[in-house]
Amino acid sequence: MKGKFITIEGVEGVGKSTNIANVEAFLTAQGIEFIRTREPGGTVIAEKIRELLLDPEIESMGELTELLLVFAARAEHLEKVIQPALNRGVWVLCDRFTDATFAYQGGGRGLSLTSIEALQDLVQGELRPDLTIILDLDPEVGLARARERGELDRFENEAQAFFLKVRAAYLSIAAANPERCLVIDAGQSLEEVKQTLEANLLSKLSYLGISGE
């Protein structure tokens, strides 16, 4: 049986790292074998591309260049990490995936969704996430949290208006894919977010064909 593919999404400062750890704990408690990875990244080449994409000293990058770099990293990641794990029956928990591309490059940058879809089909074939957790938060709050962490990367330096468009794109994706997408209010306390996430994950296990304990 192929593994399941779970992705975590959201604007800057939504608490992805904390909640990915919560999902890891949940999967472990269910006795599910999984790996954790991230985008851009996951392989040596993809991590090098990540460094380019996030480098705050790169003041100007062509929007098409950015999009192609994202998919170049994804192609490497899929071939070397994600697809082999799924084929072995191992679940994959991934910090961002193609929904981030539709949100950031499509919503934020305003690039053609048709072009992104074409690249998605080229690079991924029919592979899509089985479950996507979208941590939703007011970008103003998220950016304030990001600033508290220290130096901002190239994306975190974008204006609030950019992230408002990114958030709207994420919510549109969720509305169009209600079975696959689980939207969690990340404006709650960390404990409330954890409890909400765990409760919803239990209900989603049946959707993924797994009986929760």
- Is the predicted pLDDT of residue 213 greater than 90, yes or no? no
Phi, psi of 109 (to 5 degrees): -85, -20
Q: How far is 154 from 86, CA to CA, in rounded Å? A: 32
Confidence of residue 31 (pLDDT cuts 50, 70, 90): very high
**pLDDT tens-digit readout, 33-53:** 999 999 999 999 999 999 999
- Is the predicted pLDDT of residue 212 greater than 80, yes or no? no
Supply the pLDDT for residue 211.
Answer: 61
Confidence of residue 206 (pLDDT cuts 50, 70, 90): confident
User: Which domain does 177 fall in, by range?
Assistant: 5-37+83-112+125-207
Please check whether residue 161 lies inside any domain of the structure.
yes
- Cα 1 to Cα 137, 183, 209: the distances in Å are 35, 27, 11
Please check whether residue 141 lies inside any domain of the structure.
yes
| Residue 105 belongs to domain with CATH number | 3.40.50.300
Count of structural domains within the chain: 1
Mean residue pLDDT across the chain: 93
* C-beta atoms surrounding 53 within 10 Å: 19
Mode of pairing for the β-strands spanning 34-38 and 131-136:
unpaired
